[in-house]
Amino acid sequence: MPVAIITGASKGLGRALAAALAERGWDLVLDARTAGVLKETAEELSAYGTRVEALSGDVGDAGHRAGLAAAARGLGGVDLLVNNASALGAEPLVRLEDLTLDGLRHALEVNVVAALGLVQEALPLLRAARAGAVVAVSSDAAAEAYETWGGYGASKAALDQLAAVLGVEEPGLRVWAVDPGDMGTDLYAAAVPDDDDARPTPDSVVPAFLRLLDERPASGRYSAPALLEAR
């Protein structure tokens, strides 16, 4: 069975994608910071009959990243790495004049440095896979200028560039940076707590990610709404 590592997998998009892959028979290595919620997620997904390894921890910790790769190795390798864990830098979001440099550093550490660190851990296994792929979960804030989204957007723009270069350096893999579009998630609620407008649920955009896995287009940056419209 194919194996996926998914970070930030206890809720939101990470959990929705993990559930879709489990339904397809994928074995999973799941990461999240909150052990209790992650354990519940793993138990629910195990009901599909797949093997699920759940490791709680901080993706910013090198030892934790090595543990995720080791868990995948124990399941047979890595076919897909999804860098989904994200940090805002400030909760709620603030204008750049008020963004602390420590907040920006934290967003960059989680969204960029940790993502690259996990790629480096998983790369030998991805190269050995029949059809290895990396997904970097991006944001429209990486490409558009939205007030208060500067720090987070900058970190996601850096993640996009890392994914683009990785795609060039690793032609045997598929490397996709994916903007999932507007979603109603805990991350968005923490970013803009006063926004009560209804937003699509994370599971509604999962078919876009599955389309990438099914069709394996060239490495590059993709928009989930555009992928869904083109179906």
pLDDT surpassing 90 at residue 230? no
Encode pLDDT of 70-89 as tens digits: 999 999 999 999 999 999 99
Mean pLDDT score of the chain: 97
**Please, which pLDDT band fits residue 196 given cuts at 50, 70 and 90?**
confident
Q: How far is CA 169 from CA 117, 128, 164, 219, in A?
A: 16, 16, 9, 11
**Residue 204 falls in the annotated catalytic set:** no
Encode pLDDT of 98-114 as tens digits: 999 999 999 999 999 99
Mean pLDDT (whole number) for 148-161 = 98
**Residue 146 falls in the annotated catalytic set:** no
**Residue 48 falls in the annotated catalytic set:** no
| Tokens at 13, concatenated | 């998009």
Of 10, 11, 139, 152, which residue is the catalytic one?
A: 152
pLDDT for position 18: 98
